[in-house]
Structure formats: structure tokens, C-alpha cells
């Protein structure tokens, strides 16, 4: 059996500091996998420039001119990590047998790729890279990230614990995944829905080699919220349940109020009334917000705008490109 063609898909956003360091590491890994006969010589490293404002795209083009194993596509503007990964995977899926998506900052251990390819050879279509330890993350990042997975799962968005977007997917799994047309992307929650045989590979996570993280707490919270609302309607159910409980309590309250009024014990209960009005007002506003979030998501899905737009390609990626 001929070894599979592997495309390593790497999203890059303003990574001019880290790319010169990590591109060599990616190439070394590709070479060692090829030398071991695990992957085909036609394997490639595919960078996806996510509308960087620095010289990231120039670096990618230069790399590609030096070595054909480096290829790149550029998004027409910054669309975010998830869309960049999707663009790369969709571009790669017809050119290869397997893809591995990984961040470009060197945080994820490249050596896990060997085990991923082995798992593919053993018949797995999807292999999740899972962080065994998080020692190198700050305490804050570790705690928030752990909270992130727990919260997601409790809200009905099932994700593999401690798995980010470092994963192997076969072309077959990607063809099936292409049928998931949603615009609101939360890849790590969507991929398990594709099914097929899957497994996990464990690795240690390093520190970022250079540059800064693009995922501060605010963006993590946004991602968690997006993940939940794209994958589950559990929050709406919880709201309904909450509304039901409140209604029941209010009903009991009304009976109590009537009894006290009828027996002549009623007092000028301004404070309690005001409290209840404020409480209900706040709760309603919050819940309308959550429901509004879903309505907003539906709005975006109905418009079905393209999930990525590619503006530039390195030479090899121009062949058989859609729309050419």
C-alpha cells in the first residue's frame, strides 16, 4: 500500500515572529515522516493566512518559492481561527488522503503526528490530539480552559476534553464534514458529530515560541458561548424550566397574598413588591438575551454567507482550485 498524502493545515494570523522559527520544525517533521515511509513524498505543509496585517503572507510566499512542500492560501480578510482552519481543510481535502490541523506557534508537540498517522493506518478516520498536561500554561489559562470544557459539556455541547484543534482527519471524514453547512463554526464540537472510528493521542503542550496569544479571556468566553449556542439548545430548555419554577412560586405567592388580604392582615408591602418586580425584570432581560442569541444565529445561518473567501494562493494551490 502506498503511503498516504498528508497535508498539514496551519492557520496563521500576524505570526511573522513565530513563523520563521516553526516553519523549519514543520518541514523537519514532514521529512522524518516521509523518510520513515509513513507518508507520501507528495505531502505538503499548507499555511492559511487569516488576513494578517504584518508580513506573514510574504513569509509564506517566500517559503513556498524556496521549497514546494510549503504551500499557502490567503483569506481575503481576517475571519478568525475556526474559519481559517476550515478553509485549509476544505482546500486540502481533494488533494490528499489525510490532513492534520495544528497551530503555527509551536505550542503543540509535533511528535504526536507519528502516533496520529499510525492510528490512521490502524483504521481511524479522526484522531484527536489531547493535551496530557498543562504545566506550561499559566494558572489562569489552565483554570479558565478547564472551566471552559466543563461548562461546555454541562451545557450540552460535547467536546473532547483538553482537545483544541490539533487533529488528524481523513479525506473521507472531511468529505462528510463538508456537508455540515453551518456558518457558526465550532470545529471541535462539530467534528465528533461526523462519526467514523476515532481515537485520541496524548501530548505535552509547550509554551508559545514567540509572539502573543490571540485568545485572551474575552475571546475564550465568546468561543465558549458560540460553542454552546451552535451545538445545543440546552440553555433555552433551562430557561423554560426556570420560567416554570418562577411561575409556580408566583402562583403560590398570589394565593398567599389573597389569603392575607382576605383575612385582613395585609400590609403596605412596597419593598417586597419592588424586589419582585426588579428580579423578574432582570431575569426576563437576561433570558431574552439568550433567546436573542439563538435568533441571531438563525439569522446568520439563513443568510448562508460564504464561510471563507480565498484571495491568493501559492503556485501549486492554484491547480484545480475552485472557480478557476
Residues in touch with ligand UDP (CB under 6 A): 11-13, 15, 50, 78, 80-81, 84, 103-105, 107, 213-215
104 binds, among Mg ion, ligand UDP, none (CB under 5 to 8 A by kind): ligand UDP
Smallest distance from Mg ion to CB 148, Å? 15
Cell output for 252: 403560590
Q: Which does 215 bind (CB under 5 to 8 A by kind): Mg ion, ligand UDP, none?
A: ligand UDP
**In the complex, minimum distance from the CB of residue 28 to ligand UDP, in angstroms, rounded to a whole number:** 18
Closest CA to 97 of 67, 113, 117: 117
Residue 54 vs 197, nearer CB to ligand UDP: 54
Which CB, 4 or 186, lies closer to ligand UDP?
186
Confirm if 11 and 50 have CB atoms less than 8 A apart.
yes
The neighbour count for residue 96, using CB atoms within 10 Å, is 23
Question: Helices 217-231 & 187-194, crossing angle to 10 degrees?
Answer: 30
Stretch that binds Mg ion, among 1-9, 107-115, 135-143, 282-290 (CB under 5 A): 107-115
Strand 6-12 relative to strand 98-101, pairing = parallel
Sign for the CA dihedral angle at 310, 316, 322, 324 comes to positive
Q: How far is the CB of 30 from ligand UDP (least distance, A)?
A: 17
Give SS3 for 311: strand
What's the min distance (Å) between Cβ of 10 and ligand UDP? 7
Concatenating the DSSP letter of every residue in 31-46 gives HHHHHTTSS-TT-EEE
Of the candidates 107, 170, 198, 230, which one interacts with Mg ion according to CB under 5 A?
A: 107
Decide if residue 108 touches Mg ion (CB under 5 A): no
Summarize as ranges the residues that interact with Mg ion (CB under 5 A).
103, 105, 107
Amino acid at each position: 500500500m502506498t503511503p498516504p498524502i498528508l497535508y498539514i493545515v496551519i492557520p496563521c494570523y500576524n505570526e511573522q515572529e513565530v513563523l520563521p522559527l516553526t516553519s523549519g520544525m514543520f518541514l523537519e517533521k514532514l521529512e522524518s515522516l516521509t523518510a520513515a515511509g509513513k507518508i507520501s513524498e507528495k505531502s505538503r505543509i499548507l499555511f492559511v493566512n487569516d488576513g494578517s496585517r504584518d508580513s506573514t503572507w510574504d513569509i509564506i510566499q517566500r517559503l513556498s518559492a524556496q521549497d514546494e512542500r510549503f504551500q499557502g492560501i490567503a483569506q481575503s480578510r481576517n475571519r478568525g481561527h475556526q474559519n481559517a482552519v476550515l478553509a485549509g481543510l476544505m482546500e486540502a481535502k481533494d488533494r490528499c488522503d489525510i490532513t492534520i490541523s495544528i497551530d503555527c506557534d509551536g505550542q503543540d508537540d509535533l511528535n504526536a503526528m507519528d502516533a496520529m498517522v499510525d492510528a490512521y493506518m490502524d483504521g481511524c478516520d479522526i484522531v484527536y490530539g489531547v493535551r496530557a498536561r498543562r504545566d506550561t500554561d499559566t494558572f489562569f489559562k489552565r483554570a479558565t480552559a478547564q472551566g471552559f470544557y466543563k461548562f461546555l459539556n454541562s451545557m450540552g455541547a460535547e467536546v473532547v476534553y483538553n482537545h483544541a484543534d490539533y487533529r488528524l482527519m481523513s479525506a473521507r471524514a472531511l468529505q462528510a464534514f463538508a456537508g455540515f453547512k453551518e456558518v457558526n463554526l465550532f470545529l471541535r464540537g462539530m467534528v465528533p458529530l461526523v462519526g467514523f472510528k476515532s481515537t485520541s493521542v496524548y501530548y505535552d503542550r509547550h509554551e508559545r515560541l514567540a509572539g502573543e496569544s490571540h485568545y485572551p479571556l474575552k475571546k475564550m468566553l465568546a468561543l465558549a458561548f458560540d460553542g454552546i449556542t451552535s451545538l445545543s439548545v440546552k440553555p433555552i430548555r433551562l430557561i423554560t424550566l426556570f420560567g416554570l419554577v418562577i411561575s409556580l412560586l408566583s402562583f403560590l405567592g398570589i394565593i398567599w397574598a389573597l389569603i392575607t388580604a382576605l383575612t385582613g392582615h395585609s400590609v403596605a408591602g412596597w419593598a417586597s413588591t419592588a424586589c419582585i418586580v426588579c428580579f423578574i425584570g432582570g431575569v426576563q432581560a437576561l433570558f431574552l438575551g439568550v433567546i436573542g442569541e439563538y435568533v441571531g444565529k438563525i439569522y446568520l445561518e439563513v443568510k448562508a454567507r460564504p464561510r471563507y473567501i480565498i484571495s491568493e494562493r501559492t503556485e501549486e494551490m492554484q491547480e484545480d482550485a475552485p472557480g478557476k
